[in-house]
A and B are shown apart, each in its own frame.
Chain A
Amino acid sequence: MTRGAGAVDGAPSAAEAVARGERGALARAMNLLESTRPEDRQTARALVDALAARPRPGGQVVGVTGPPGVGKSTLVGRLLGDWRARGWTVGVVAVDPSSRRSGGALLGDRARMAAPGRERDPGLFIRSMAARDRLGGLAPATFEAVLALRAGCDRVLVETVGVGQSETDVTTVADTTLVIVQPASGDTLQFLKAGLMEIPDVLAVNKADLGAVARRTRSDLRGALASLGREDVEIVLTSAADGQGVEALAEALERHRQAQADRLPAAREGRLREQVARRFRELYGTLAADRLGGEAGLLALLAALPVETAPGALLDALVARL
């Protein structure tokens, strides 16, 4: 038996196992998606195309970002606990930056996300990924991983570290974007300045145990959102330390999902096309992209195609136009 990523025994049965949410199958699928070996890429493409067509009904992909040190991992851990208590299975992709120098990476505080007692929980799958050479906050395989996990889990959560401008990247894979900040810190100001107010669908102000400062921060944020015409963004006060506000946060995320439910298939198709266009540019270069009319041209071509869900097939269709 092959021990590499190719251990998946044929795409169709692997896809079935992933769709059933089997933990071992999820792990093997991730190994495959992350592999750059040509033979693995073939299998991976078939697997992703099969899974992309069958997201879990009522499912949701939540993207999480925010500056470092705001208690993100711990709050995410609490949120996962809440979701699990509702009976939902959960898949997590946590992305950390890679070193430009060595290519190595230190990956997340995964243990802080998986609270004690949940280590044998078959309904919670956590995968850490290194961003590799991507400048943005996401790893090359993140999008494919999301498509696979979306088929096998009721909730998918993508966490990225907040460094520089890359937080916005998470919105390109998420149905709902959650931004976590802490009260009245320099980070919060930075966050306001960085123009990140455009991205959240839900905002969590963590460390709400700071009381008045937290409430003041909430009203500051509310004001800033209003000036952008984004009064619809819910702001939740949370405390990762004692779990306060976590249920409210879960409910806010759920309300956003319900509010967006009608628009979801179209939104997901739009994001898929953007990802395919981006992948095309990565693989074939700016010259090739320009030949097909640049970003706008690529998206228009993709929108005109009859295939709606399979990223591999969409990519092939673009290549065929070259």
Chain B
Amino acid sequence: MSERAASQAAAQGRRDRPWVMRTYSGHSSAAASNALYRENLARGQTGLSVAFDLPTQTGYDGDDPLARGEVGKVGVPIGHLGDMEALFQGIPLAEMNTSMTINATAPWLLALYVTVAERQGAARAALRGTTQNDLVKEFLSRGTYMLPPAPSLRLQSDVVAFTVRELPHWNPVNICSYHLQEAGATPVLEVSYALANALTLLDAVKGRSDVPEAAFPEVVGRISFFVNAGIRFVEELVKLRVMGRLWERLTLERYGVQDPKLRRFRYGVQVNSLGLTEQQPENNVYRIALEMLGVVLSKRARARAVQLPAWNEALGLPRPWDQQWSLRLQQILANETDLLEYGDLFDGSREIERLEDALEAQVLAELDWIERQGGVMEAVGTGAMKQRLVEANAARLRRIEAGEQVVVGVNRWRESAPSPLTASDDGGILTVDPAAEREQVARLEAWRAQRGEGEVEAALTQLKDAARAGTNVMEASLRCAAAGVTTGEWGRTLREVFGEFRAPTGVGGQGGEVRADEGDGLAKARRAVDEVSGALGRRLKLLVGKPGLDGHSNGAEQVAVRARDAGMEVVYEGIRLTPEQIASAAEDEGVHAVGLSILSGSHLELVPRVVQLLAERDLGHVPVIVGGIIPEADRQALLGAGVARVFTPANFDLNAIMADIAGLVAERHGRAA
């Protein structure tokens, strides 16, 4: 054996254990997702990451009017215990590490999970995994909240209290900074908001009578984070080291947790999707690889679990092969390279230390700002934090438009030979069978027909009583799960007790207004808007809305803000609207154009309905403009259904879009007048 080979073998002997490798997946139905999970596990994936569809995430049944078009689209539909059993059929939950991206309905999905595991014969103590269960970021960015802030926080802490007692190996909360970065947060905002959020939750749990004082350090130890990592991977690496440093300090100073193990900053990661491009999508493979470096290079701040997006996410839903390609990247990095053989590579680096100190100071200042807003829950209610995110994202987009921030294939080096990757018959993406919704509804009806209504009623009454009385809803939710209650029934019961809520949009007032310079795109757009406004007799008025359950409002917010800067009067309706609401608003408000944003893939169901409802109100002349992740075939279908324009992530020049809208309105007006 050569010396080199021997040293290699020795090094491999003390290799660090690699992180948990997951792929965020699920679609169409529990059975289809089950097949996908089994396939992924066979390919060497070491944990599961369950993506739920939007009705499941927001507590609606598949046959609810709000669920139309959304069933099985961005994840698996789980309507009841039967679906959950089918999802994990043949997958021994006692041996799994399962991450569930579930928030508003986390108590419910956890109850279903525990029930299925017990029916498989697994002990509660054996269950390992994570419920995301972070509501603050839902209000700030992701939009799948269900209840107002105060009861949301309470349900969140119900899950924490339950797991502390019953599921010793469960991470009850994954505090997400991930979605903040997707919403445009800078590293400072990402770190400070996430830390403030975690402390708010811990404060809430600390006040609970069912969590003994002595168990509190253990609660602190259970908090994990779910972060993002963008292409500026040195900055990201520093960010994670700072988060770790601050978490250790804050948990000691604020809660007096002595055991260093319980103060450790533990996090999983999904690297950035916001920066993935529709143009030359193959380049995204490099981006994903570089982004991953930021979360694994430094041993001190290495991720515990990693999931990577697929190269084609800006085009549509990834196929199993696309996800496999991303998984292989993790496997190569963990197994072929020598990364896991060394201690921390950055300790003692003066440059890294300098960057850490600078970031830490900014984060502490931002934490003070949140405090001055009256704390996280208050700032969520007033929209103060949200507004800063919207402004940060607007600044990012402006830098890309102006070419100050280079994005290869987008604002530089745009010419490309035709890509063989997108040339296949499926257009390089996965299409969810439209029959999935129908079949899910049929299964739901069959489920309702065979269950015992008496026990369902009793279980829901227990849930309602627990919600009202302020006792932990987990016990009642477990009973509901066993009784055959549906996701929509569970959600409706809590909505009835706590009421519904619409988060502030963060879009309003004069924040982040852009200056137009003579001859630039915005000045041109303004002129076009002014001209058509003069002809109309009043200022061009635009309605921006998001139909369906998709809560990713970043795109819609940016369009609304830029339309204002181009001189339009903008009615921004926020998320989760039915086509009926949008059409009524268009009529009441007397708008000249309607802009719809959809990222969940439900555009073919929802958009034509809006067009039809407008026509019924004698508003057929009002142009409907659609933005989102829209595959080419769907684009044609939408244009055929009467949509005036379809914009995708490739249309990053917002000023050009504004001028185009003004032109469209002028054209419609001229034609009809």
Which of A's residues lie within 8 Å of B, judged by CB? Answer: 1-5, 23-24, 26-28, 30-31, 34-37, 40, 68-69, 71, 74, 96-99, 101-112, 114-116, 119-120, 125-128, 130, 132, 161, 209, 241-243
Contacts and interface: CB of A to CB of B under 8 A. Distances in A.
B673 A2 contact: yes
A242 B495 CA distance: 11
A130 B569 contact: yes
Contacts of A130: 539, 569
Interface in B461-519: 498-502, 504-505, 507-510, 513, 515-516
Closest 4 CB pairs of A and B: A37-B537, A35-B537, A3-B672, A104-B564
Interface in B43-72: none
A119 B109 CA distance: 30
Interface stretch (B338-346, B577-585, B642-650): B577-585
A37 B383 CA distance: 38
B448 interface: no
A24 B617 contact: yes
A96 B499 contact: no
A105 B578 CA distance: 24
B502 A102 contact: no
Contact of A103 (B536, B539, B560): B539
A34 to B, nearest CB: 5
Interface stretch (B223-231, B587-595, B598-606): B587-595
A69 B386 CA distance: 13
A106 B560 contact: yes
Contacts of A115: 500
Interface residues of B, number: 59
A112 B537 contact: no
Contacts of B150: 209, 241
Q: Is the interface of A mostly helix, strand, loop or mixed?
A: loop
B381 interface: yes
Interface string B634-673: 0000000000000000000000000000000000110011
A24 B569 contact: no
Contacts of A3: 621, 668-669, 672-673
Nearest to A117: B500
A77 to B, nearest CB: 9
Contacts of B669: 3-4
A127 B564 contact: no
B572 A106 contact: yes
A243 B499 contact: yes
A23 B588 contact: yes
Contact of A106 (B508, B539, B587, B588): B508
B508 A109 contact: yes
B315 interface: no
B526 interface: yes
Nearest to B515: A101
Contacts of B533: 103
Contact of A119 (B513, B560, B580, B617): B580
Contacts of B589: 27, 107, 110, 126-128
B588 A5 contact: no
B378 to A, nearest CB: 9
B180 interface: no
B538 interface: yes
14 contacts: A3-B621, A3-B669, A27-B587, A35-B538, A71-B381, A101-B515, A104-B539, A111-B573, A111-B577, A112-B504, A125-B588, A126-B588, A128-B571, A241-B150
Nearest to A113: B502
B650 to A, nearest CB: 25
B384 interface: yes
Given A4-B537, A4-B669, A107 B572 contact: yes
A189 B572 CA distance: 31
B574 A109 contact: yes
Contacts of A34: 537-538, 590
Contact of A102 (B148, B565, B573, B584): B565
